[in-house]
Chains A and B, each alone.
Chain A
């Protein structure tokens, strides 16, 4: 197992956010975290990235105990694509990507031609080399995600953590981004943990799903085992139907309208519709 989280507990100011969370992700596996807003997805990702220290439990990545490792050691193994990217200086995309090399630089060191070449190579791999000279603040949200993904890949290809990577992306870009990440898993053996809000994207791209509810693991395992209508209904606390298309694609549909809710109610008796 590349990523192992054991019995993780985390609390902000005494308010528990994660409780007894276990998580395992193997080499080349794409693990998706699902859960409602405030269910602890971001906190879990930050604990895995070593940015937050769980009050109890342990995180091991590539055999490295995160509580003992230095920032630099962690950064060479684990890369993160954060959720919010506030406006920064109008750096070129290439300058943003090359920062993925930060962990390898000494006090006075700056990126050299070799680092820029490597940064460019990653952009080429992601078919985004046209972005290299553009102003990071002036490209689209989807392009920014690609640029940040490139930075993360340059930093560490082994373990990639993504906090809601599909936020603010259009329909097409959501699928293209996840497809690229999935290819990384297949071709480079990258282990990925990504939080998503759309169960359909999870069903389509994930190898493994962890459902978080109020900081606890509601269910975890392979897509086939976890992604059922009843689990989705419990997770989102709203009636959810699963529709299977003729070519085997599974679609999850919430039933909020009068008719839909009625249908779902008949399928899933005794569920809470609203919290």
Chain B
């Protein structure tokens, strides 16, 4: 009896989800093309063909040299990094929300971003620190932040959903104060503007070199998280049930926290704080395909890539001088979040 009908419902739903994911991949490619084309230096589609042909032939014509440079050294790496960061941040948000069973947590709210920002700012201030130092400091303080938030929540151990958000707020405030202190202590002519502009979040410094770190770190973490994503369903029931169902929550919790925190820290080190992506994208995905992480995670990742690339394209194209990307993500993300909260109010989980 029910056997047939329910199997039909299951396959029906998964067909719908396959269509949605295909659509998102196509959307991502579409946005990628648009973002490569739009910008301060206009590059027409036919010129693109010429540039590619010139590259393949090893010879760039005089008239296209400048454009080829803009295209190859600026736009392509920038677009790729933006997509990776968007994907990484939204995957991190989805993981945090599932792991901590809390729709309000994200790398921003638990203080990971602020911790990583503090670490990176510290790196920027230390004379002669390499990119790797900045990167490592960002990662160390990012992880320290989430560790502190978890520790505080565990010590309080009452009403975990609420306390974790409050603990995150405590950690966030401490790191934000530390960042302010760093700014205060820095040289106001060179270091301060560097920190301030970098903190606002911008993709403008993205280079091919960044991809050498971003691709293996963010890409690798995304693959691992995607591979083990079903475990997030079980972990979202809480430790007691996860254990009684036969899962080792300690191992998976640590693995997921490590992978998402390293993605957030790398993103922060590359382009500063980009807020709202990690909080809002998982909610969008849950609205589209439901809470099952099997479907929800890939959808969140793809929408994160699209969203941030759109935001960056808008940041570049809307005004003559480039807008900080966080301004764009906040102006779009915050109202969107409010709308999603309103829309999903009846689901019994908000």
The residues of A with any CB-CB pair to B shorter than 8 Å are 49, 51, 71-72, 74-76, 78-80, 82, 86-92, 94-95, 99-100, 102-103, 105, 107-111, 113, 116-117, 120-121, 123-124, 129, 132-133, 135, 137-138, 155
Q: Is B3 interfacial (CB 8 A cutoff)?
A: yes
CA distance A121 to B7 in the complex (A): 11
In the bound complex, what is the Cα–Cα distance between A74 and B234 (angstroms)?
17
Indicate if the CB atoms of B2 and A95 lie closer than 8 Å: no
Complex contact A75–B233 (CB within 8 A): no
Contact residues, B239-268 vs A (CB, 8 A): 240-248
Query: Interface range on chain B: under 10, 10 to 19, 20 to 34, or 35 or more?
Result: 35 or more
* A90-B6 in contact given A71-B248, A75-B245, A155-B245 (Cβ < 8 Å): no
Q: Which residue of chain B lies nearest to A78 when distances are taken between CB atoms in the complex?
A: B244
Contact check, A80 vs B244: say whether CB atoms are below 8 A apart. Answer: yes
Question: Is the beta-carbon distance between A102 and B1 smaller than 8 angstroms?
Answer: no
Tell whether A116 pairs with B348 under 8 Å between CB atoms, given A90-B291, A95-B233, A102-B247: no
- Do residues A89 and B291 form an inter-chain contact, with CB atoms below 8 A? yes
Q: Within B286-340, which residues are at the interface with A (CB < 8 Å)?
A: 286, 290-292, 294
B10 touches A116 (CB 8 A): yes
Q: Mark B35-52, 1 if CB is under 8 A from A, else 0.
A: 000000000000000000
Partner of B230, one of A91, A103, A109: A109
The answer to whether A82 touches B348, judged by C-beta atoms less than 8 angstroms apart, is: no
Q: How far is it, in angstroms, between the C-alpha of A145 and the C-alpha of B102 when the chains are bound?
A: 23
Quick one: which of B227, B241, B286 has the most chain A CB within 10 A?
Answer: B241
Choose among A99, A107, A109, A133 the residue that contacts B233 (Cβ–Cβ < 8 A): A99
Does B349 lie within 8 Å of A110, measured CB to CB? no
| B236 lies within 8 A of chain A by Cβ | yes
Number of residue pairs A-B, CB distance < 8 angstroms: 108
Q: Which of B236, B241, B244 has most A Cβ within 10 Å?
A: B244
Nearest chain B CB to A21's CB is how many angstroms away? 20
B151 at the interface (CB under 8 A from A): no
A135–B349 Cα distance when bound, in Å, is 11
**Measured CA separation A124–B246 after assembly (Å):** 24
Whether B236 contacts A75 by the Cβ 8 Å rule is: no
| Residue B33 CB within 8 A of the other chain | no
Chain B positions 1 through 34: 1 when the CB is less than 8 Å from some CB of chain A, otherwise 0: 1110011011000000000000000000000000
A-B pairs, 6 with minimum CB distance: A75-B246, A103-B246, A137-B348, A89-B291, A129-B2, A90-B347
| Residue B238 is within 8 A (CB to CB) of chain A in the complex | yes
Q: Indicate if B237 sits at the interface (CB-CB under 8 A).
A: yes
A87 to chain B, nearest CB (A): 6
- Complex contacts, B227 vs chain A, CB 8 Å: 107-108
CB of A71 within 8 A of CB of B7, answer: no
Are A82's CB and B244's CB within 8 A?
A: yes
- Given A88-B349, A113-B7: A132 in contact with B245 (beta carbons within 8 A): no
Partner of A117, one of B7, B233, B286: B7
Question: Is B101 at the interface (CB under 8 A from chain A)?
Answer: yes
Q: Which of B229, B286, B291 has the most CB of A within 10 A?
A: B291
Q: Is B157 engaged at the interface, CB distance under 8 Å to the other chain?
A: no
Can you pick out 26 interface pairs between chain A and chain B where the beta carbons lie within 8 Å of each other? A51-B240, A51-B244, A75-B245, A75-B246, A76-B246, A80-B241, A87-B349, A88-B101, A88-B237, A89-B98, A94-B6, A103-B245, A103-B246, A105-B230, A107-B227, A109-B230, A116-B6, A120-B3, A120-B6, A120-B7, A121-B3, A123-B2, A135-B348, A137-B347, A137-B348, A137-B349
Are B245's CB and A124's CB within 8 A?
no
A71 to B9, CA, bound (A): 33
Interface 1/0 per residue, B210-226 and A, CB below 8 Å: 00000000000000000
Interface residues of B in 105-129 (CB under 8 A from A): none
Docked-complex contact B349 and A89, CB < 8 angstroms: yes
Q: Which residues of chain A come closer than 8 Å to B101, judged between CB atoms? A: 86, 88-89
Whether the pair A108, B228 counts as a contact (CB closer than 8 A) is yes
A120 adjacent to B2 (CB under 8 Å): yes
Chain B residue with Cβ nearest A100 = B245
On chain B, the residues within 8 Å of A113 by CB distance are 7, 10
Contact A91 B233 (CB under 8 A): yes
Q: A80-B244, A120-B2 are in contact. Are A99 and B294 (CB under 8 A)?
A: no
Chain B residue with Cβ nearest A49: B244
- Are A82 and B241 touching (Cβ within 8 A)? yes
C-alpha gap A135/B291 in the complex (Å): 10
Structural contact, B247 and A71, CB atoms closer than 8 A? yes
Cβ-closest chain B residue relative to A72:
B246
Q: Chain A contacts of B233 at CB under 8 A?
A: 89, 91, 95, 99
CA distance A100 to B227 in the complex (A): 20
Nearest-neighbour CB distance to chain A for B18, whole angstroms, equals: 15
In the complex, which residue of chain A has the Cβ closest to the Cβ of B346? Answer: A138
CB B340 to nearest CB in A, in angstroms, measures 13
Asked whether A88 lies within 8 Å of B236 as measured between CB atoms, the reply is yes
Within the complex, the shortest CB–CB distance from B56 to chain A, in Å, comes to 38
Taking A116-B6, A137-B348 as known contacts, 4 extra A-B pairs with beta carbons closer than 8 A to each other, sorted by chain A number, are A78-B244, A89-B98, A89-B236, A95-B292
What is the distance, in angstroms, from B315's C-beta to the closest C-beta of chain A?
33
B228 and A124 within 8 A (CB): no
Closest CB in chain B relative to A13 CB, distance in Å: 13
- Whether the pair A132, B2 counts as a contact (CB closer than 8 A) is yes
Nearest-CB residue, chain B, relative to A105: B230
Per a CB cutoff under 8 Å, which of B3, B238, B246, B348 touches A102?
B246
